């Protein structure tokens, strides 16, 4: 069976970008009979950005509830919290010792932090933790430990998957065996990068997100705030590269999208366009939102699901994998 794996960092409230870029394609792929899926809450990754215990805890609950509300079946899918699998940080260290430092220097998130430092006249690496620098190695361990073949992600994560391949390959080469399967990114082209309220990529760090389960009235208000140009109703508008249109397309059928583009070119006003986008989204999200509200009110149920999955997953895959790897590198396997 093909193994599919993906994770979401628990450093905020799940947003439309997480849904369209990761949750929706992952749940769709997970339905196939010949697939074994692994979906998890990346709470170790959250520590890199969020050092607020209450926020990390709340976000973990919200993102877990979001996966379940969107249709993940925890009896058919491995659904777990990264920090419940201690074999992951152990593997992270093994991979750290084969990972090229030069490759990590080129990681987008690390480079972006230093570009900001340069712009602000600060020293290189000012404010950069070793955690941020090592982020791709932890992510590689997430993927490689379960020999995932496909990783559904948004475009921003492609480089990390390539690095996971690189580290896996180096390990295989160094120790002379097929210890790891090399993963491939799975990108849904229609939503590769969902824009946020200001037209830039929707991202927690830009504070331009639309929460996936915002109440209906808030969703309408947020959509009304999407940045558009000053073209008036009646003036033709170019759907190409337009945030409103891209958001609409990510949730619409091809026919709906084509009709929306046609209407914009024909002079549909931005106000009416926003109403149409709101109606499309609200109608799709409403049933999931109802399940989400019920789930979030019962954290004990979510906790039980996560713990049960983590325990079985460790016994089935993580512990045997680490036993094999420890032997391979000359360290005593834990008994
Ligand atoms: P994170 O938490 O930033 O985002 C989770 C997923 O949502 C996708 N995504 C988007 N997709 C389309 N448009 C957007 N605007 C948008 N914003 C976010 C991301 O591409 C991602 O798929 N490092 C990862 C979490 C992670 C992981 C892993 C993923 C940790 N280990 C192993 C896959 C495999 C991250 O921070 O994603």
Residue set of the binding site = 9-11, 17-18, 142, 154-156, 194, 201-205
The per-residue pLDDT for range 124-173, each reduced to its tens digit, is 999 999 999 999 999 999 999 999 999 988 888 999 999 999 999 999 99
Residue 189 is predicted with a pLDDT of 78
CA dihedral 114, 116, 121, 126 (to 10 degrees): -50
Residue 334 is predicted with a pLDDT of 87
Does ligand 1 have an atom closer than 6 angstroms to the CB of 139? yes
Does ligand 1 have an atom closer than 6 angstroms to the CB of 8? yes
Does ligand 1 have an atom closer than 6 angstroms to the CB of 156? yes
pLDDT band at 77, cuts 50/70/90?
Answer: very high
Do the domains at 2-194+299-329 and 213-294 have one common CATH topology? Answer: no
Residue set of the binding site for L-tryptophan = 142
Q: Are strands 78-81 and 2-9 parallel, antiparallel or unpaired?
A: unpaired
Percent of the chain with pLDDT over 70: 100
Q: How far is the CA of 10 from the centre of ligand 1 (A)?
A: 10
Nearest atom in ligand 1 to the alpha carbon of residue 42 is 30
Beta carbons of 164 and 95 less than 8 angstroms apart: no
Residue set of the binding site for ATP = 9-11, 17-18, 154-156, 194, 201-205
The per-residue pLDDT for range 268-281, each reduced to its tens digit, is 999 999 999 999 99
Residue 180 is predicted with a pLDDT of 98
Residue 241 is predicted with a pLDDT of 86
Most confident of 36-50, 176-190, 229-243: 36-50
Indicate the domain borders of the chain: 2-194+299-329, 213-294
Residue 105 is predicted with a pLDDT of 97
Percent of the chain with pLDDT over 90: 91
Mutate to test the pocket of ligand 1, among 13, 25, 153, 250 (most ligand atoms within 8 A of CB): 153
Using CA atoms, how far residue 131 sits from 42, 51, 53, 268, in Å, is 14, 12, 17, 48
Residue 137 is predicted with a pLDDT of 98
Q: How far is the CA of 6 from the centre of ligand 1 (A)?
A: 8
Q: Above 80 in pLDDT, residue 307?
A: yes
DSSP string, 16-30: HHHIIIIIHHHHHHH
DSSP reduced 3-state for 7? strand
Q: Above 90 in pLDDT, residue 4?
A: yes
pLDDT band at 192, cuts 50/70/90?
Answer: confident
Fold of 2-194+299-329: Rossmann fold (3.40.50)
Residue 132 is predicted with a pLDDT of 97
Fold of 213-294: Tyrosyl-Transfer RNA Synthetase (1.10.240)
Nearest atom in ligand 1 to the alpha carbon of residue 152 is 22
Residue 59 is predicted with a pLDDT of 97
- Compute the distance between CA of residue 239 and CA of residue 236 in angstroms, rounded to an integer: 10
Residue 260: its H or E element: helix 254-265
Beta carbons of 213 and 289 less than 8 angstroms apart: yes
Q: Please state the rounded mean pLDDT for residues 96-109.
A: 97
Residue 222 is predicted with a pLDDT of 97
Q: Please state the rounded mean pLDDT for residues 25-45.
A: 94
Name the residue at shortest CA distance from atom 36 of ligand 1. 9
Does ligand 1 have an atom closer than 6 angstroms to the CB of 208? no
Q: How far is the CA of 296 from the centre of ligand 1 (A)?
A: 22
- Torsional class of 66: left (φ above 0), alpha (ψ -120 to 50), beta (otherwise): alpha
- Compute the distance between CA of residue 13 and CA of residue 210 in angstroms, rounded to an integer: 9
Q: Which two tokens stand for residue 86?
A: 């201690």
Strands, sheet with 35-42, edge to edge from the N-terminal-most edge strand: 78-81, 35-42, 2-9, 150-152, 184-186
Q: Which two tokens stand for residue 137?
A: 């190695």
| pTM score, whole prediction | 0.94
The per-residue pLDDT for range 55-72, each reduced to its tens digit, is 999 999 999 999 999 999
């Amino acid at each position: 069976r093909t193994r599919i794996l993906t994770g979401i960092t628990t450093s905020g409230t799940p947003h439309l970008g997480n849904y369209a870029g990761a949750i929706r394609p992952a749940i769709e792929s997970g339905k196939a009979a010949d697939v074994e899926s692994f979906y998890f809450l990346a709470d170790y990754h959250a520590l890199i950005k969020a050092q607020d215990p209450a926020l990390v805890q709340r976000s973990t609950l919200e993102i877990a509830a979001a996966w379940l509300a969107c249709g993940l079946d925890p009896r058919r899918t491995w659904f777990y919290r990264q920090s419940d699998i201690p074999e992951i940080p152990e593997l992270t260290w093994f991979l750290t010792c084969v990972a090229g430092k030069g490759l990590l220097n080129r990681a987008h998130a690390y480079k972006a932090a230093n570009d900001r430092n340069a712009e602000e006249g600060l020293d290189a690496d000012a404010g950069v933790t070793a955690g941020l620098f090592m982020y791709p190695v932890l992510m590689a361990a997430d993927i490689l430990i379960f020999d995932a073949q496909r990783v559904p992600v948004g475009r921003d994560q492609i480089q990390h998957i390539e690095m996971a391949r690189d580290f896996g390959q180096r390990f295989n080469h160094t120790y002379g065996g097929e210890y790891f399967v090399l993963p491939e990114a799975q990108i849904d082209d229609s939503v590769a990068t969902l824009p946020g309220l200001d037209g830039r990529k929707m991202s927690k760090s830009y504070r331009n997100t639309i929460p996936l389960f915002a109440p209906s009235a808030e969703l309408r208000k947020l959509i009304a705030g999407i940045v558009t140009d000053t073209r008036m109703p009646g003036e033709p508008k170019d759907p190409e590269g337009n945030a409103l249109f891209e958001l609409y397309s990510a949730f619409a059928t091809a026919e709906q999208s084509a009709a929306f583009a046609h209407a914009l070119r024909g002079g549909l006003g931005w106000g009416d366009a926003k109403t149409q986008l709101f109606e499309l989204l609200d109608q799709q999200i409403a049933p999931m939102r109802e399940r989400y509200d019920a789930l979030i009110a019962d954290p004990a149920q979510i906790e039980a699901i996560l713990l049960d999955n983590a325990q079985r997953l460790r016994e089935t895959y993580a512990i045997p994998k680490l036993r094999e790897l420890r032997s391979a590198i000359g360290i005593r396997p834990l008994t």
